[in-house]
Amino acid sequence: MSSEEQSNAAAARRWREAIMPTYGTPGLELASGSGCTVTDAEGNTYLDLLGGIAVAALGHAHPAVASAVSEQITKLGHVSNFYSHEPELRLAERLLQLAGVDGNGRVFFCNSGSEANEAALKIARRTGRPNVVAADRGFHGRTMGALALTGQPEKQTPFEPLPTGVSHVPFGDAAALDEAVDEDTAAIVLEPVQGEAGVIIPPEGYLQSAREIADRNGALLILDEVQTGIGRTGYWFAFQRCGIVPDVITLAKGLGGGLPLGACIGVGRAAFLLEAGQHATTFGGNPVCCAAALAVLHTIESEGLLEHACRVGKEIIAAIERLEHPAVKEVRGLGMLLAVELDGDIAAAAAESARERGYLINPVRPDTLRLAPPLILDEQRANEFVRDLAEVLSEAHGGEGKN
């Protein structure tokens, strides 16, 4: 066994002996990162094309985030929700501006996407209506309320009974959604793009139809932008490409640039349904996390990363399509949220082959690879990956394909 194999085996053993078995044992121990590159405990480097599952919007150890966090922690690290502070106020105001709802919205800060969706579900409950309609294969988190919204029975079954009143319809099917929503529906809960399902983009007009259906029935439209928000799709929020405004927006992942931060934004009447004492979280709006988020938003805007994400994402899709590899069924995505659907359940093998060549990608489904790289990924590194992807796919596919 090589020294590298010994090191990974030792880390795996320590993991199994200290960490609850809620995840598979990692096969790689990371030690540091810079930009789009991470380094393992043995000094091997990898191009990180997953970004902590769409979290590292600016990559690793970005100077703007590091500076903001370092400065804030020397001033004020935590205050609870009994007191206000400038980073939280500035961040709330900025998010409302970016969403186009300043003056008509309010923000609740929390620590994760699941927490943001729990807050959204409680907002829905406060309408007094009993039911919520969500989508098959959607993913909204693993806490009990968020899990009830998640349209994946394999994740739900071990924890039943879940909170009641949630039904699921096929994603992208406006007619099915229309049939399911009525005067007892408190809210429709959707992802603009289903990330964990394999980067599934709904048909044109679907979100507009969801908005109209919600309005016609007096229901809220809740959009889970945990994975798609903060520039991931080339827009500040994915709903902006559709020309609509939801009643509730949930955020996390890229918002904190690597620090744990979530947000639930209520718009119009949804901004005021939760009253004092009805919801809270101790660490929500933490000054250090808010300072990091402000640095993320400023950098995305000042460096033109929305346009960059659109351009590079399209180039990656086109380049993979030009490979004409027999293992590839479809390449899809928006901005820097991409998927490569394969012609068999070879995604795990492809991800392992990619890692051996210095790339970290995610087998999000047995037949699908997900890419969610930092928004700063440049064309050169993207082209290097696509060049090597042909060999990766050929190895996973049994040696076939063009090179």
Domain harbouring 368, CATH code: 3.90.1150.10
The answer on 247 and 182 residing in a single domain is yes
Q: How far apart are alpha carbons 163 and 210 in whole angstroms?
A: 23
The answer on 230 and 138 residing in a single domain is yes
212 vs 169, 206, 215, 275, CA distance in Å? Answer: 17, 10, 5, 27
Mean pLDDT for back-to-back runs of 10 residues, the chain (403 residues): 78 94 92 98 97 98 98 97 96 98 97 98 98 98 98 97 98 98 98 98 98 98 98 98 97 98 98 97 97 98 98 98 97 98 97 97 98 98 97 84 40
3-state helix, strand and coil shares in percent for the chain, rounded to the nearest 5: 40, 20, 40
In a domain, 385, yes or no: yes
The answer on 143 and 14 residing in a single domain is no
Q: How many residues does the chain have?
A: 403
- Structure tokens belonging to residue 362: 């995610």
The answer on 336 and 391 residing in a single domain is yes
- Number of domains the chain is built from: 2
In a domain, 67, yes or no: no
Are 11 and 324 in contact by the 8 Å Cβ rule? The answer is no
The answer on 132 and 229 residing in a single domain is yes
pLDDT attached to residue 162: 97
The answer on 337 and 244 residing in a single domain is no
The answer on 107 and 56 residing in a single domain is no
pLDDT attached to residue 350: 98
Residue 224 known to bind ligand: yes
- If phi > 0 it is left, if psi is from -120 to 50 it is alpha, else beta; for residue 358 that is left
Q: Which domain holds residue 333?
A: 3-61+304-314+327-346+358-399
Residue 6 known to bind ligand: no
Residue 142 known to bind ligand: yes
In a domain, 172, yes or no: yes
pLDDT attached to residue 83: 96
In a domain, 219, yes or no: yes
Long-range contacts (CB closer than 8 Å, 24 or more residues apart) made by 148-151: 148/121, 149/117, 149/121, 149/189
The answer on 121 and 263 residing in a single domain is yes
In a domain, 370, yes or no: yes
In a domain, 78, yes or no: no
The answer on 171 and 23 residing in a single domain is no
Identify how many contiguous H helices and E strands the chain contains and give both numbers: 13, 15
Please identify which residue in the block is written with the tokens 């943001």. 116
In a domain, 19, yes or no: yes
Residue 245 known to bind ligand: no
The answer on 133 and 14 residing in a single domain is no
Residue 341 known to bind ligand: no
Residue 194 known to bind ligand: no
Of 223, 163, 157, 230, the closest CA to residue 194 belongs to: 223
The answer on 241 and 106 residing in a single domain is yes
Residue 102 known to bind ligand: no
Main-chain phi, psi angles of 112, to 5 degrees: -160, 170
The answer on 177 and 258 residing in a single domain is yes
Q: How far apart are alpha carbons 120 and 125 in whole angstroms?
A: 9
- If phi > 0 it is left, if psi is from -120 to 50 it is alpha, else beta; for residue 398 that is left
CATH number, position 200 = 3.40.640.10
Residue 191 known to bind ligand: no
In a domain, 93, yes or no: no
